Amino acid sequence: MLVYSTGVVNDRLTAATFEELALPLFDQLYNFAHWLARDRAEAEDLVQETYVKALRGFASFQPGTNFRAWMYRILRNTFLTSRTGLKQTVTLGEDVPEPASEQTPESILLGHAEQELLQAAMEDLPLPSREIILLADVEEMSYQEMAETLGVPIGTVMSRLSRARRTLRDLVRRKLEHHERPLVGKTRTVS
C-alpha cells in the first residue's frame, strides 16, 4: 500500500485526482454556463472561475457525495453572484402570460427547422426555469443531484421542474403562433 506522507505528494495527488474528476465535465459545464450567461466570453469566464474555485476548494469536497452536483453548484453560485446573474434574477420573474390557444406544440418541435424556435424559447425562460430544465433534460441529472446542485429539497425540485416545463411549453406555443406563417413558408421552401 502506498503511504503518502508529505504535503507535497498529497497536494500533487489532490490536483491529479481533481483533474481526473473535473475534466470530463468540461464540455457539459461549458454548455450549461453558456445557457446561463447567454454569452461566450461570459461563459468562458464562468467555467474558468468554476474550475479555479473548485480546485482551491477540492479539499473541502467530501468523497462519496456527488462530484458533478458539487461542480454545477459552484458554477451556478458563481453565475448568480456575477453581474449578469444578478441582473437576470432581479429583472426576470417566472410569470409567463397564459397561452391564447389550445394547440399542442410538442409534435411540431420534432423537426429541425423548429429547433431554433425551441432554443429561443429556452433562452427566454426565466433563470430558475431555464436552469432546472437544463439540469434535468440536457444534463440528465437525477432529482437528488438537482437537489444537491440547487441546494433545495427534492420536493421543490419536482414542483419547480414541472412548473418550468409548463412555462416552456407555453412559451413555445406562443412563439409557434407568432411565427406560424414564416415557419410554414420556410418548411415549404425546404421541401
Q: Give the footprint of another protein on this chain (CB under 8 A).
A: 11-12, 15-16, 18-19, 22-23, 26-27, 30-31, 34-35, 40, 43-44, 47-48, 51-52, 55, 104, 106-107, 109-110, 114-115, 118-119, 122, 133-134, 136-138, 140, 142-143, 158, 161-162, 165, 168-169
Evaluated on CA atoms 84, 69, 168, 156, the torsion sign reads negative
User: In sequence order, what DSSP letters do the residues of 117-161 get, joined into one string?
Assistant: HHHHHHHHS-HHHHHHHIIIIIS---HHHHHHHHTS-HHHHHHHH
* Residue number, 90 or 103, with CB nearest to another protein: 103
* Residue number, 119 or 187, with CB nearest to another protein: 119
* Residue number, 85 or 146, with CB nearest to another protein: 146
d(CA 119, CA 46): 21
Backbone dihedral region for residue 96 (phi beyond 0: left; psi -120 to 50: alpha; all else: beta): beta
* Residue number, 2 or 90, with CB nearest to another protein: 2
Nearest distance, CB of residue 54 and another protein, angstroms: 8
Nearest distance, CB of residue 124 and another protein, angstroms: 13
The number of residues making up the chain comes to: 191
